[in-house]
Amino acid sequence: MKDTEKKLVNEMKLKLPSYSVNESAARAMVSAFCAQQDPKTGEIADIKCAVSEAVTNCIVHAYRDTVGTIYITVKLYSDRSIQIEIRDRGCGIEDISLARQPLYTTDAASERSGMGFTVMESFCDKVRVSSKCGKGTTVTLCKRLSSR
Amino acid sequence: MIKHNCGFEVERGEAALVLTLYGEIDHHSAVQIRTEIDTLLLEEQPRKVVLDLSHIEFMDSSGLGLIMGRYSLMQKLGGELMLRKPHERLVKIFTLAGLQRMVKIEDAEDDKKEERV
């Protein structure tokens, strides 16, 4: 099925304050919504982990020392592809390609492994990142589920 | 706001101090569990620590940070850290970071056939 033929079949929007306790809530809600597409256990585990990484980045980096809002949009398409957008209005990323390097972290003191983007990239088909310093960051995770 | 979705149980064997971690390890829970484990390690100064991961239900890269941090602490204390029974999902994350080159892992779970949720 071509991209032009795929249709949006369902959509969910979430808005959460950047409390760390919401990391588990965010991944649980996103995975519960995606479950209606009948994914494999490994696929849902991939989604949970990628979402957890993106949401943690909002909490640890974008809204460091403050509390802001995390906006999550999940779109399910007829070709079994899933698009998850995780957006913040935090500090932004100065150098996106550097931030995406494995083991790179700006917060080594807090034992951040620097593997967040690497995990997202390996568990999703595509990861898009757009950011503006002082304005915020949008991470878009794309994953196509295997056929039933 | 202070809910913690993971923890650990302690077993003091002759050969090693075994910490069996359970629940979900993310950035939120790792902060809490890290302090508790470090307090125990600094008090008891064991020669060998085994982290049993067989009861972990979820882990993201915050768990990697937790393991690497405890590995460093055990090195400073002149001891050894080992991982036991990580399931397939965890091994996948460890491999991304090359953790197996640093930390010994015993009884990793083999790949299993995927099932629908």
**Residue A112 is among the residues annotated as catalytic for this protein:** yes
pLDDT digits (tens, 9 = 90+) for A116-147: 999 999 999 999 999 999 999 999 999 999 99
Q: Is A111 a catalytic residue?
A: no
Query: Do A23 and A55 form a contact (C-beta atoms < 8 A)?
Result: yes
- Return the structure tokens found at B11: 């077993």
Note the pLDDT of residue A104: 79
Residue in B3, B58, B114 nearest the CB of A40? B114
Q: What is the pLDDT of residue B1?
A: 41
Q: Does domain A7-144 have CATH number 3.40.50.970?
A: no
Residue B88 has a pLDDT of: 92
**Closest residue by Cα to residue A93 from A121, A128, A124:** A128
* CB-based contact B7:B52 (threshold 8 Å): no
Domain coordinates in residue numbering, chain A: 7-144
Give the closest residue to A62 by CA, choosing from A93, A85, A34, A41: A93
Least confident of A45-49, A105-109, B82-86: A105-109
- Say if residue A88's pLDDT is above 70: yes
Helix (H, G, I), strand (E, B) or coil at B65: helix
Percentage of chain B modeled with pLDDT above 70: 88
Q: What pLDDT is stored for residue B44 in this prediction?
A: 94
Q: Which residues in chain B are contacts of A44 at CB distance < 8 A?
A: 117
Q: What percent of chain A has pLDDT over 90?
A: 81
**Of A9-13, A39-43, B12-16, B26-30, the least confident:** B12-16
Greatest pairwise CA separation for chain A in angstroms: 48
Helix and strand numbers, DSSP H then E, in chain A: 4, 5
Is the model's pLDDT at B69 over the cut of 90?
Answer: yes
**Position B41 in a domain:** yes
For residue B90, the chain A residues in CB contact (below 8 A) are: none
Q: What is the residue whose two structure tokens read 């923890």? A: B7
Q: How much is the pLDDT for A114?
A: 87
Answer yes or no: are the C-beta atoms of B10 and B40 closer than 8 Å: yes
Task: Assign A72 to helix, strand or coil.
Answer: strand
Maximum distance among all alpha carbons in chain B?
A: 45
A-interface mutation test, from B4, B24, B26, B89, most A Cβ less than 10 A away:
B26
- Model pTM? 0.91
CA distance A103 to chain B (A): 8
With contact defined as beta carbons under 8 Å apart, do A18 and A69 qualify?
yes
Does B91 score more than 90 pLDDT? yes
Say if CB A67 and CB A41 are below 8 A apart.
no
Give contacts of A27 with chain B, Cβ < 8 Å: 58
Give the pLDDT of residue A103.
Answer: 80
- Quick check: A45 and B61 CB within 8 A? no
A115/B93 CB distance under 8 A: yes
Is A22 among the residues known to form the active site?
A: no
- Which residue of A41, A56, A59 is in closest CB contact with B117? A41
Pairing of strands B48-59, B17-25: parallel
The average pLDDT across A52-76 equals 97
Instruction: Give chain B's domain count.
Output: 1
Look at residue B114 and tell me if it is in a domain: no
Within a 13 Å sphere around the CA of B41, how many CA atoms are in the beta-carbon half? 26
pLDDT in tens, B7-52: 999 999 889 999 999 999 999 999 989 999 999 999 999 999 999 9
| Residue B86's pLDDT band (cuts 50, 70, 90) | very high
> Can you give the CATH number for the domain in which B54 is found?
3.30.750.24
Catalytic residue among A53, A64, A80, A144: A53
Mean pLDDT across the stretch A96-121? Answer: 85
Is B72 inside a domain boundary?
yes
Residues in chain A whose beta carbon is closer than 8 A to a beta carbon of chain B?
Answer: 19-21, 23-24, 27, 35, 38-45, 48-49, 52-53, 56, 59-60, 102-103, 110-116, 118-119, 122
* pLDDT at residue A113, as a whole number: 81
Choose, from A57, A80, A85, A148, the residue flagged as catalytic. Answer: A57
How close is the nearest chain B Cα to the Cα of A144, in Å?
Answer: 15
Q: Which amino acid is at A27?
A: R
